Amino acid sequence: MKLELRSRFYSLATAILTPVVLIRLLMRGVKTRAYLQRWHERFGWFKNPHFKRKSIWVHAVSVGEVNAAIPLIKALMKQYRDHEFVLTTITPTGSDRVQQIFGNQVFHVYLPYDLPGAVKRFLRKTKPDLAVIMETEIWPNLFRFCKKRDIPIVVANARLSEVSMKGYRWVESLAAKAFNNTTYVAAQTMTDAKRMIQLGCDGDRIFVVGSLKFDIIIEDEIVKKGEDIRAHYPKDRLIWIAASTHLDDEIEILDAYAVLKQRHPQLMLVVVPRHPERFQSTTQACRNKGFQTQLRSEDGLSGLDTDVFVVDTMGELLEFYASSDIAFVGGSIADIGGHNVLEAAVFSLPVLVGPNTHNFEEITQLLNDCGGSFLVHDANDIIRSMETLVNSQQIRKQMGQSASELVEKHRGAVQITMQMIEAIMNKSALPVGVQSKHFPIKNK
């Protein structure tokens, strides 16, 4: 009874706070117009797709989660050709990525707010046979109504950082109930699994399968585009990419580059800001530093005398990784929690990464332990690490090879997650190989 009262209170609180969320969307829309569009979808109002068959629904909140989900979604589409596919995101950049990769192969809408009416409308129109929720998107009403409609839920690539766990504390009992409305939770690491159990998730549902991010797919087209970009520059030109950057990352990067450029004129910096609303401010910061700066949207590729090239377009990060020699992965000096270092590692790049990586804690540690990365805290650390890398092709090669080997060694989460999904769809027992990943068994 107490839980039912809490559910009602949660729904009431969510409804009361909805205007605050809409005001936040308005504020973000000042810089990024896409946030002002398609609000009706966020309340479950969208054109009914009138599916003639059941669907499989995958939710990935934004670009990073969409990228991680791509190998799993492609495996699902190959295995379940008799189903429609629904993909939901929360951010416009995530939406753009879905459209770029899958186009009209999928039905895409924004995930509705966790309001009972919105959730019911969404589920009624999309009619999913299965819900696959990426990472840590735990919505009490959404999971509750899936359970009522007998829609099995798999939380794929599940992670729960210390920061996220603290954020769920105020709705701990509801979060625990939501977790326990799932069929399986495919946790990335043992640490994630332990935190989920601390939050109240039933250990019998949890399997530690590794990260889907290790199963990253690099299409030949991406490699070719990277080769074409690289061929534009002389062989002695070194390209250093600062990827998925935020303001505090860029302050240290640009300070370091001001010193490095004086010592190594052949070094060019490519900056890829994480959010499109920062393209203009990033460009201005580069020019204020006195760097000859060009933009992807205006110039295509930079001139040979360019110091900094700002990639102010979406969905092109991988091809610029493919054309680079050294990478810095952002959100890690900035206190964001880090972004996906494996997108750089798969291209055999030595990686610089800051200390704030709680979103990728164990993956970042693995990369450091294998010798594929340098930890940097500020401009001085960056200068020291970059001096080592710029001056030694051999060190760059060794670190890049270690990074690439790490990715290959840890592939396989897609296969295990697919076996879990197949057991649900076929109403069969889990294969022995999956059962061996069961949290309580591995914890004994």
Please, are residues 250 and 379 in contact by the beta-carbon 8 Å criterion?
Answer: no
Q: Do 421 and 405 share a structural domain?
A: no
The residue ranges of the chain whose pLDDT is under 70 are 1-4, 440-444
Q: Which residues contact 4 (CB under 8 A, 6 or more apart)?
A: none
Same domain, 69 and 192: yes
10 domain residue, yes or no: no
290 in a domain, yes or no? yes
Same-domain status, 389 and 422:
no
| Residues with a known catalytic role | 65
Please give the Cα distance from 363 to 353 (Å, whole number).
12
- Rg (alpha carbons) of the chain, rounded to whole number: 22
Flag whether 175 is in a domain.
yes
- Distance set, CA 266 to CA 233, 234, 272 (Å): 10, 9, 20
- The count of structural domains within the chain is 2
Does residue 114 belong to any structural domain of this protein? yes
Q: Which two tokens stand for residue 129?
A: 């046979």
Q: Are 366 and 427 in a shared domain? A: no
β 107-110/128-134 pair status: unpaired
Q: For residue 10, what is the enclosing H or E element?
A: helix 2-31
Please check whether residues 267 and 360 belong to one and the same domain. yes
Q: Is 2 contained in some domain?
A: no
Identify the CATH number of the domain in which residue 331 sits: 3.40.50.2000
Q: Can you tell me which residue has the tokens 């109930």?
A: 177
In a domain, 32, yes or no: no
Q: What is the CATH number of the domain that holds 44?
A: 3.40.50.11720
CB atoms within 10 A of CB 100: 12
Tens of pLDDT, residue by residue over 308-360, are 999 999 889 999 999 999 999 999 999 999 999 999 999 999 999 999 998 88
CA distance 331 to 38: 28
Name the nearest CA neighbour of 90 among 134, 120, 126: 134
Going across the sheet that includes 267-273, the strands are: 293-295, 308-310, 267-273, 238-245, 326-329, 351-353, 373-375
| Structural domain that includes position 150 | 38-210+413-442
Same domain, 205 and 225: no
pTM for this entry: 0.89
Contact 241, 327 (CB under 8 A): yes
Same domain flag for 402 and 419: no
| 119 assigned to some structural domain | yes
Q: Give yes or no: residues 87 and 191 share one domain.
A: yes
Residues 417 and 401 in one domain: no
Q: E-assigned strands of 143-264?
A: 153-158, 184-187, 206-208, 238-245
Residue 337 CB coordination number (10 Å): 16
Is 292 within a domain? yes
> From CA 419, how far away is CA 438, in angstroms rounded?
13
**Same-domain pairing of 348 and 417:** no
How is the beta sheet containing 128-134 ordered, strand by strand? 107-110, 84-89, 55-59, 128-134, 153-158, 184-187, 206-208
Task: Give tens-digit pLDDT for 376-425.
Answer: 999 999 999 999 999 999 999 999 999 999 999 999 999 999 999 999 99
Q: Is the Cβ–Cβ distance between 93 and 66 less than 8 Å? A: no
C-alpha–C-alpha distance, residues 318 and 94, integer Å: 15
Looking up tokens 């809408």, which residue turns up? 109
198 and 68 together in one domain: yes
Q: Do the beta carbons of residue 14 and residue 113 sit within 8 Å?
A: yes
User: Is 205 in the same domain as 280?
Assistant: no
